Amino acid sequence: MSEDLISVIDVANHHGKKKQTIFKILRRLGIEARKIRGAKHGQFLSYITQDEFRLVSNELLSYGDKDASERNQDDAVTEAALAEQGVFYLVQLEPDHDPMRFKVGFALRISERLRALRCSAPFTKVLGTWPCKQLWEKTAIECVTEGCERLHTEVFRTESIDTVIGKCKQFFSLMPKLPE
């Protein structure tokens, strides 16, 4: 492993924060941690570069400089963003060549999300959308992709795409009804 990398756990310990806090900052900064299998236990651990560590540290320092009212405002903005309503989508990225590979996620507007997806996967086909709060996204992904092979953050491979569609329908039938 390169000495240029530092684990997210070490970043959290360095700053006296929980690793979940560091992951939130990474998402906010648009940084994707690298998953590397650890030698000791064989588990995957998340790592960032030293430059990314400096960015996270600066973000934490600027956050620490804010007074309590500013932090409460930021927390309220974050909560409002998580409560935002959009759609949970299920798409096939290559329906003809790899029909069992799919992507799931949350979008405020599916048309804009499709436009972005089609830049790298021009044959993307929408299999379904369901009204969703952003706060539900991670739970929905975990539920509907259980038993699937994770290829990337929100990209999976399954043995039955119909099973995944069924799980999506089942999950959202249990959630509070949102206006479409």
C-alpha–C-alpha distance, residues 124 and 91, integer Å? 6
Domain boundaries, the chain: 5-65, 83-174
Q: What are the residue ranges of helices labelled H in the chain?
A: 8-15, 19-29, 50-65, 68-83, 110-120, 137-144, 161-174
pTM for the full predicted model: 0.57
| Other residues' Cβ atoms within 10 Å of the Cβ of residue 145 | 21
The pLDDT profile of the chain, 180 residues, written as one tens digit per residue, is 445 888 898 888 888 888 888 999 998 888 999 988 877 667 888 999 988 988 888 888 876 655 454 455 555 555 555 568 999 999 999 999 999 999 999 998 899 999 989 988 999 999 999 999 989 999 999 999 999 999 998 999 999 999 999 999 999 999 999 877
CATH assignment of 5-65, among 1.10.287, 2.60.60, 1.10.1660, 3.90.175: 1.10.1660
What spatial distance separates the first Cα and last Cα of the chain, rounded to whole Å? 48
In this structure, what token pair is assigned to residue 173? Answer: 């039938």
* Residue that has been written with the tokens 């995957």 in this structure: 44
